[in-house]
Chain A
């Protein structure tokens, strides 16, 4: 607990949280929001395609979007860490935060499975297996859970003045 308080009170944390600069909290959260839009935007596109939406879209070239998605993911891991650290005593006592992390953890595992097994060699015309569709549905559920849990952070569990 003391460590969490320490994290919150470092110069960096204090500056991000309390400076009026747009590069502080507003900027960090902005990057986090754009990151979410890119991560979920790309993944939803691929998952929905696997589920049969927009069937004329070939899956193989959509793999080219994955590097962009992973860059956005790591940007969000970084900004997310900052957002957590500046409010550590509250976030790490909030079960909802761990729910969000669990959804993201699961989402990443499912995403790696999809990349390894489904996107490896998708012939355009072959029907995707039931397994592939299940993974895609699971992926969407995980990201839906992450977004919902993330939004609820400001409303459930201990919430700081932030």
Chain B
């Protein structure tokens, strides 16, 4: 079991990466 702060950081980064990818593609297909 990873320490709490690490799990939170990983989950946050993963979600931000996914959201960022969505933003990137929406941006790409609209420029």
Contact = CB atoms under 8 A, between A and B. Distances in A.
When A and B assemble into the complex, do they touch directly, with CB atoms less than 8 Å apart?
A: yes
Interface of A: 52-55, 96, 144, 148, 151-152, 155-156
Contacts of A52: 27
B21 interface: no
B5 to A, nearest CB: 5
- Contact count band on B: 10 to 19
Given A144-B12, A148-B9, A148-B12, 11 more contacts: A53-B24, A54-B27, A144-B13, A144-B16, A148-B8, A151-B8, A152-B4, A152-B8, A156-B3, A156-B4, A156-B5
Q: Is the interface of A mostly helix, strand, loop or mixed?
A: loop
Interface of B: 3-5, 8-9, 12-13, 16, 23-24, 27, 31
A144 B15 CA distance: 12
Cβ-closest 3 pairs across A and B: A156-B5, A53-B27, A148-B12
